[in-house]
Amino acid sequence: MTDIVTIDCHYVLPQVAAAYLIRAGQSACFIDNNTNHAVPSLLAALTTAGYKPEDVTHIIITHVHLDHAGATGLLLSKCPNAVVVAHPRAAPHVINPTRLVESAKAVYGAEAFTKLYGEILPVPEARVYIPADGETLQVGDRELKFIYTRGHANHHFVILDQKSKSIFTGDSFGIAYPLLQHGSRPFLFPSTSPTDFDAGEARISYDKVLASGAERAYPTHFGAWNDIAAGYKMLMVAMDEIENLFNEIKGSDLEGDAAYKFTFSGFRRFFDRELAVRGIQLSAEEQTVLDMDIDLNAQGLAFAAQRARKKSKATG
């Protein structure tokens, strides 16, 4: 049995969001946990891998966005010996999720929020561990190294498993849905979702993943990505286009909805073209998933560009 188990969290559709289970000798650990709705699948995967909830020593979250960390409190309540491992900027939000819930409701709308996530349970502070940037943690028979990565979110780190040369990248090394992988032209694209997106930092994060020596990346969306160098190139090229859009907004006087419409049509063009060159035809359902990303990417990029414009005006 493989030591890294990809668990389909059935977030909106199959193969959209994963959580990972690492088998580490006597211990097991989870990386990301999606939402409360995924907990039965997480525990079933644990059983299949030959572990009990008592064997889980670490519940690691790449960052605190709710499609990654929404089940942290509930999952911890099922795993009596586990600690939550989180970035210093993520930890306060797992301990007290109130603000996180409020801001997610602002992005998704209250009704959609409740349907997607249910109730977010807080985590006792005593059960949270915050690794430093570059720190290595012993988890069972493995050493996991934590590398802080900004660009997608300021509360993000990636996790390098030295033994399997695997790196768990959350949203710091793009999104790669299986439904978009097509023959010899696989497709990895950047996430620019609100509110921390920063193109320069995103590029630094791609550099860190490339330099880590890992042979395989595990983005949360979704499953193993086997060619890190090719993925790196794809992300860098896409980021050029995204920065062009960013600069157009920043240099314009577009605000609010007008700015969003501009970035939305930019991302729409990008995806239409990239799907066409791969000969990918999406079903209506699959298009809905991609539309969520186009919407979030457009929101995040429009927000970042307007913020940058304000900042440059303020500093003259």
Binding site for Zn ion (CB under 5 A): 65, 171
> Which residue lies nearer to Zn ion by CB, 23 or 208?
208
CB of 161 to Zn ion, least distance (A): 21
> Which residue lies nearer to Zn ion by CB, 46 or 71?
71
> Which residue lies nearer to Zn ion by CB, 57 or 263?
263
> Which residue lies nearer to Zn ion by CB, 51 or 189?
189
Taking the C-alpha atoms of residue 59 and residue 111, their distance in angstroms, rounded to an integer, is 28
Find the residue with minimal CB distance to Zn ion.
65
> Which residue lies nearer to Zn ion by CB, 131 or 174?
174
Which residues make Cβ contacts (< 8 Å) with residue 157, sequence separation at least 6? 62, 63, 87, 131, 133, 146, 147, 148, 149, 170
CB of 13 to Zn ion, least distance (A): 18
Task: Spell 77-92 as b/e; 16+ CB within 10 A means b.
Answer: ebbeebbbbbbebbbb
Task: Spell 171-206 as b/e; 16+ CB within 10 A means b.
Answer: bbbbbbbebbbeeeebbbbbbbbbebbbbebbbebb
CB of 188 to Zn ion, least distance (A): 15
CB of 225 to Zn ion, least distance (A): 16
DSSP E strands, 101-165? 128-129, 136-139, 142-148, 157-161
CB of 195 to Zn ion, least distance (A): 11
The one-letter amino acid code at 105 reads K
**Any alpha helices (H) in the chain, and if so which ranges?**
39-48, 66-69, 72-78, 91-95, 98-108, 110-117, 199-211, 228-250, 256-277, 284-314
Q: 83 forms bridges with which residues in the sheet?
A: 58
CB of 276 to Zn ion, least distance (A): 27
> Which residue lies nearer to Zn ion by CB, 46 or 239?
239
